Homo-oligomer: A and B are copies of this chain.
Amino acid sequence: MDRREQIRQGAVKVISERGFHEATTSIIAGAAGVSVGTIYNYFRSKEEILGYIFEVECQRRVNHLHSLLEDESDPPRERLRRFLTAHLDRVRSEPEIARLLLQEFRFSDRTEFLPMRRFASEMPRLLGRLLSQGAADGKDPTVRGLALFGAIQGLTTQMLLAPDTVETESGALVDELTDIFLP
């Protein structure tokens, strides 16, 4: 039984529901099915748990985008659609993690939060590259990458906050976003 993973899962559940600060170590321990002490056999601090959650989830997303960029068999437009679809699916299937990622982002430069920072700089860069493959107009892709990254966050936030206002089915959402950024 992988304790570190077990604790991570308990923490995701609790933190996404109550926020990091209201998620006490003892509640996390309860949700993970271990005792408080055990948490500290696998993590140096409560914050390290949050850092680890980001590490795992961010890596997952960055990896996916990387693989789409390397695979050049499909046109960029198609690859963007695939990424957006996968993202929205993940939001719908694991809303707690999405909520946690959006909510618990920390500006802080503590090492525990480095993965968050790297994620926030890497994703826009990669998205920018994808866009510039699609619209080879020679422009600096930075701004468009950031805009797309932000747009995705904006839509995700809305889906989590007020799902009924974004009733559009995933497919249509993806179409619209794609049209905006790769018209």
- Asked if A180 is at the interface (CB within 8 A of a chain B CB), the reply is yes
A143 to B166, CA, bound (A): 8
Q: How far is the CB of A60 from chain B (nearest CB, A)?
A: 20
Q: Are B143 and A149 in contact (CB under 8 A)?
A: no
Interface size on A, residues (CB 8 A): 42
Minimal beta-carbon separation of A10 from chain B (angstroms):
20
Q: Report if A65 contacts B (CB, 8 A).
A: no
Q: Are A168 and B143 in contact (CB under 8 A)?
A: yes
Within 8 A of B (CB), among A40-70: none
Show the binding face of A for B, using Cβ within 8 Å: 19, 21, 99, 102-103, 105-108, 117, 120-121, 124, 139-140, 142-144, 146-155, 157-158, 160-162, 165-166, 168, 173, 176-177, 180-181, 183
Q: List 29 A-B contacts (CB under 8 A).
A: A19-B106, A19-B107, A19-B108, A103-B106, A103-B107, A107-B160, A107-B161, A120-B157, A121-B161, A121-B162, A124-B158, A142-B165, A143-B166, A143-B173, A143-B176, A146-B151, A146-B154, A147-B154, A147-B177, A147-B180, A150-B151, A150-B152, A150-B157, A151-B151, A153-B154, A154-B154, A180-B180, A180-B181, A183-B183
